[in-house]
């Protein structure tokens, strides 16, 4: 191989690695990834502060996803995640932002939605997942919800409160929505919660 060809191959390989490092789309699901959330949030926060608007965060987790992979294989698990991404897009508004946060965990930002509306949206999403199969399998979803308004919008705070609410949803039976109180951090179960 000539030195020119070798140099071009090295440049292409480096460019590919740089592009992957800059990528903000999850290859499996087509959703935004965690890096995209970190990059986009400052603008979203600034907009909420300027307009004194609500912003809610849903943190969703596929229940017993390890069992799906262990029983049906990782290819089937991947198809569940692709179908989940499609279903989420069908349920939400086009202005809502959906991120694959990690593994089978999805973070959803709902600009302009306060806690009560966010819980209803989460319940609608949970119900849609639980009543119609994904990749031919009955799948359920647990969701933690947190909300803030205006200057109080902070990503780490929203994530922390939504994560605690999600943990509560998992600990109290899965296939349910739990919300974190806007100020007190108290956890309440959504109206459609069912023990499983």
> Residues with catalytic annotation?
104
Q: Which of 187, 161, 186, 184 is nearest to 176 (CA)?
A: 187
Q: Which long-range contacts (CB under 8 A, 24 or more apart) does 32-41 make?
A: 32/97, 32/98, 32/99, 32/100, 33/99, 33/100, 34/99, 34/100, 34/101, 34/102, 34/107, 36/99, 37/97, 37/99, 37/101, 37/107, 37/109, 37/155, 38/155, 40/97, 41/155
Could you give the CA distance from residue 92 to residue 111 in angstroms, rounded to a whole number?
12
Burial of 59 (0-12, 13-18, 19+ CB in 10 A): buried
């Amino acid at each position: 191989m000539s030195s020119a060809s070798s140099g071009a191959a090295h440049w292409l390989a480096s460019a590919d690695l740089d592009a992957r490092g800059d990528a903000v789309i999850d290859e499996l699901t087509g959703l935004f990834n965690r890096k995209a959330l970190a990059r986009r949030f400052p603008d979203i926060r600034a907009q909420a502060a300027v307009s004194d608007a609500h912003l809610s965060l849903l943190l969703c987790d596929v229940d017993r996803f390890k069992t799906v992979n262990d029983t049906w294989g990782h290819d089937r698990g991947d198809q569940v995640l692709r179908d989940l991404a499609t279903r989420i897009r069908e349920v939400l508004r086009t202005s809502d932002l959906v991120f694959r946060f990690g593994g089978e965990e999805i973070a959803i930002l709902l600009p302009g939605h306060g806690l009560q509306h966010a819980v209803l949206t989460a319940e609608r999403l949970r119900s849609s997942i639980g009543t119609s199969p994904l990749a031919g399998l009955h799948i359920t979803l647990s969701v933690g919800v947190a909300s803030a308004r205006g200057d109080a919008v902070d990503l780490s705070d929203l994530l922390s409160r939504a994560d605690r609410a999600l943990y509560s949803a998992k600990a109290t039976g899965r296939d349910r929505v739990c919300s974190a109180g806007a100020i007190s951090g108290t956890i309440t179960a959504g109206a459609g919660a069912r023990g499983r």
